[in-house]
A = this chain, B = another copy of it.
Amino acid sequence: MLIQSIATSYSRPSALSPTRTTAATGFESSLAHAQLRRVEAKEFLFAEGDQVSCVYRIETGAIALYKVLADGRRQVMGFAYPGDIVGLGLDEECTINAQAVKPTRVRCLPVSSLREFATRDPSFGFKLYEAMARELAATRDLMLTTGQRSAMERVASFLLALSRRNRRNGRDPAFFELPMTRTDIGDFLGLTIETVSRTFTKLKAMQLLKLPHSNEVKLLDITELAKMAGGE
């Protein structure tokens, strides 16, 4: 399978670390040579309502994907990290905002080439379908979390998801940076920044983690943290 992931792997590592079989269908090699674009922190990669032009692969940095209500309330649907692909969807208008949370580099591939790949390689469309299915599963997991879990459970699952992502990438599962602000985390988990902050403080008090800096997390007891995250 070619397409690593559409956006953030919220909580289903199995669904998001695909088998990576076979040679490139031209998609990956096209991406490799696609134009590199630099996006500053807070700059939009694209916004809801934009005409869809490209799909992007994150090379470095991080992108927040979110929707907003008329009065400004915001729901972050996920964060995209290096290796993730964002921008897939219907080829009409963007239905979501994609904004860099830190300086980011992406490779841009015109969407028109997707249809082209699909006609050249009959299995490519099916691969896109599978990628979207994975993304949908991840979004549903997030919805289970924001819809049913307590603040503590939400924050714990969020940290565990980052930990798992690190483990998957061969990095230290007990230490990572938070590229996004408390506001981003709050809007992702459906909490206010104050609640996020207080929950971090509680976790510190429980000796489950340390915050060397406000955006650096050292997990001290992942097993216990998993218990705090509640079922699953």
Enumerate chain A interface residues (CB-CB to B < 8 A). Answer: 12, 15, 67, 69-71, 73-75, 77, 88-90, 95-96, 115, 118-119, 122-137, 139-144, 146-149, 190, 230-232
Number of copies: 2
Interface contacts beyond A75-B140, A125-B127: sample of 14 additional A-B pairs, CB < 8 Å, sorted by A: A15-B90, A67-B141, A69-B144, A69-B232, A70-B232, A71-B230, A71-B231, A88-B133, A119-B122, A119-B123, A136-B136, A136-B139, A143-B146, A147-B147
Q: How far is the CA of A142 from the CA of B146 in the complex (A)?
A: 11
Which of the residues B70, B132, B144 comes within 8 Å of A133, measured between beta carbons? Answer: B132
Chain B: CB-nearest residue to A14: B92
Q: How far is the CA of A147 from the CA of B66 in the complex (A)?
A: 12
Q: How far is the CA of A100 from the CA of B195 in the complex (A)?
A: 38
Check B140–A67 contact: CB distance below 8 A. Answer: yes
Check B139–A190 contact: CB distance below 8 A. Answer: no
A125 CB → nearest B CB, Å: 3
Check B146–A146 contact: CB distance below 8 A. Answer: yes
Between A115, A124, A140, the greatest number of chain B beta carbons within 10 A of the residue's beta carbon is seen for: A140
Chain B: CB-nearest residue to A137: B95
Chain B: CB-nearest residue to A74: B148
Q: How far is the CA of A128 from the CA of B90 in the complex (A)?
A: 11
Q: How far is the CA of A98 from the CA of B27 in the complex (A)?
A: 35
A73 CB → nearest B CB, Å: 4
A107 CB → nearest B CB, Å: 20
- For A75, what are the chain B residues with a Cβ–Cβ distance below 8 Å? 140, 143-144, 147-148
Chain B: CB-nearest residue to A12: B95
- For A69, what are the chain B residues with a Cβ–Cβ distance below 8 Å? 144, 148-149, 230-232
A76 CB → nearest B CB, Å: 9
Q: How far is the CA of A148 from the CA of B70 in the complex (A)?
A: 12
Q: With A69-B231, A122-B119, A147-B146 in contact, is A140–B95 under 8 Å at CB?
A: yes
Chain B: CB-nearest residue to A136: B136
Check B125–A124 contact: CB distance below 8 A. Answer: yes
- For A15, what are the chain B residues with a Cβ–Cβ distance below 8 Å? 90, 95
Chain B: CB-nearest residue to A7: B136
Q: With A74-B148, A144-B67 in contact, is A89–B133 under 8 Å at CB?
A: yes
